[in-house]
Chain A
Amino acid sequence: EVQLVESGGGLVQPGGSLRLSCAASGFTFRDYWMYWVRQVPGKGLEWVSRIKTDGSVTAYADSVKGRFSSSRDNAKNTLYLQMNSLRAEDSAVYYCASPFSSGFWGQGTLVTVSS
Chain B
Amino acid sequence: DIVMTQTPLSSPVTLGQPASISCRSSQSLVHSDGNTYLSWLQQRPGQPPRLLIYKVSNRFSGVPDRFSGSGAGTDFTLKISRVEAEDVGVYYCMQGTQIPLSFGHGTNVEIK
List residues of A whose CB falls within 8 A of some B CB: 35, 37, 44-47, 50, 59, 61-62, 95, 97, 99-101, 103, 105-108
Interface of B: prevailing SS:
loop
A32 CB to nearest B CB, Å: 13
- Once the chains bind, are A100 and B37 in contact (CB under 8 Å)? yes
- Once the chains bind, are B54 and A100 in contact (CB under 8 Å)? yes
Q: A45-B94, A101-B58 are in contact. Are A107 and B99 (CB under 8 A)?
A: no
Most chain A beta carbons < 10 A, residue from B41, B101, B105: B101
List residues of B whose CB falls within 8 A of some A CB: 37, 39, 41, 48-51, 54-55, 58, 60-61, 92, 94, 96, 99-106
Question: Can you name 28 A-B residue pairings with CB atoms under 8 Å?
Answer: A35-B101, A44-B104, A44-B106, A45-B41, A45-B49, A45-B103, A45-B106, A46-B103, A47-B101, A47-B102, A47-B103, A50-B99, A50-B101, A59-B100, A62-B100, A95-B48, A97-B49, A99-B39, A99-B94, A99-B96, A100-B39, A100-B96, A101-B54, A103-B50, A103-B54, A103-B60, A105-B49, A106-B48
CB neighbours (8 Å) of B106 from chain A are 44-45
Closest to B6 in A: A44
CB neighbours (8 Å) of B99 from chain A are 50, 59
